[in-house]
């Protein structure tokens, strides 16, 4: 079977698209059999920072639709009390390293956060259209 040659336009597009991707992780020195056998005892990869889920509800949230949801007090509010849009202080992100704890993920909402019963989640279905 003859190889299909890409046109110059396709080559330029592929270079442009590949430049948009983040760098790939380094190759492993382990063979596929070592990876699948679980012989890896330690890695050079950073571990996630310790997680400390918030337990207290901020007084700013008491009279909002999100008055049931505890938030990390370090988060910087960008839009007042509601909707809750925030980001973490750069110092805290820097101190956590390459991985961010769930408490410091940025939040962008346009309305109230729905209350979800964890027992219902396995029965959820969703559709992607368009």
- Written as tens digits, the pLDDT of the chain (130 aa) is 566 777 777 666 555 555 555 556 666 666 666 555 655 555 567 777 888 899 999 898 899 998 998 999 999 998 888 888 999 999 988 888 888 888 998 888 888 888 888 899 999 998 999 8
Q: Does pTM surpass 0.85?
A: no
Q: Rounded CA gap, 75 and 78, in Å?
A: 9
Burial state string for 38-66 with b = 16 or more CB within 10 A and e = fewer than 16: eeeeeeeeeeebeeeeeeeebeebeebbb
Contact of 51 with 105, CB cutoff 8 Å: no
Note the pLDDT of residue 55: 93
Note the pLDDT of residue 15: 56
């Amino acid at each position: 079977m003859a190889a299909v040659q890409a046109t110059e336009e396709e080559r330029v597009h592929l270079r442009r698209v590949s430049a948009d991707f983040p760098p790939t992780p380094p190759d492993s020195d382990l063979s596929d059999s070592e990876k699948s056998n679980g012989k890896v005892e330690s890695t050079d990869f950073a571990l996630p920072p310790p997680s400390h889920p918030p337990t207290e509800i901020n007084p700013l949230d008491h009279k909002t639709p999100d008055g049931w949801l505890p938030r990390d007090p370090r988060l910087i509010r960008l839009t007042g009390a509601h909707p809750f849009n925030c980001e973490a202080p750069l110092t805290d992100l820097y101190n956590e390293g390459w991985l961010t704890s769930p408490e410091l993920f940025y939040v962008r909402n346009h309305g109230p956060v729905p209350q979800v019963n964890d027992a219902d989640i396995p029965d959820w279905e969703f559709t992607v259209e368009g």
